Every structure is written in structure tokens, then in C-alpha cells.
Amino acid sequence: MPTRTLAQVRVKSIKKKFKDKAFARGANREQIRAIEELGIELNEFFEIALQGMQEIAASLDLAD
């Protein structure tokens, strides 16, 4: 995101960018996809992770 604020990030954007290897370069995509084996859909995982990160955005230096 150009503004670098998590408040503006949407799950739809994460899902779209997830396929791009340059996005979240250090993330292990296979481990992230493995969450589906636990019965959690990828969209739901993205939503949970985004919400958690938004709650601590200030400490991640990504707040407004």
C-alpha cells in the first residue's frame, strides 16, 4: 500500500497479491496454504491475520 497503513489493506488485495512472489517475499506460502488442512479457508486466514496485524499496527510502525 502506498500509504503503508494496515487500516487500508483489504483481504481481497492480500488474496490477489499472494500469488506474486515479490509480495511478502519472506513468507513461506506452502506453510500458509497448509492452514487449509486444518479446515480454515485461506480467505478466513487472511482476515484473521490482517485483523491481528491491524490491532498492533502501531508497534509494527504501520499505523496512520
Closest-CA residue to 9 (of 46, 58, 60)? 46
Interatomic CA distance for residues 48 and 7, integer angstroms: 14
Between 59 and 2, the higher pLDDT residue:
59
Distance CA 34, CA 29 (A): 8
Domain count, the chain: 1
Q: Residue 19 falls within a domain, yes or no?
A: yes
Residue 64 falls inside a structural domain: no
Residue 62 — pLDDT band, cuts 50, 70, 90?
confident
pLDDT digits (tens, 9 = 90+) for 15-61: 999 989 898 889 999 999 999 999 999 999 999 999 999 999 889 88
pLDDT classification of 5: cutoffs 50, 70, 90? confident
Instruction: Give the global pTM.
Output: 0.80
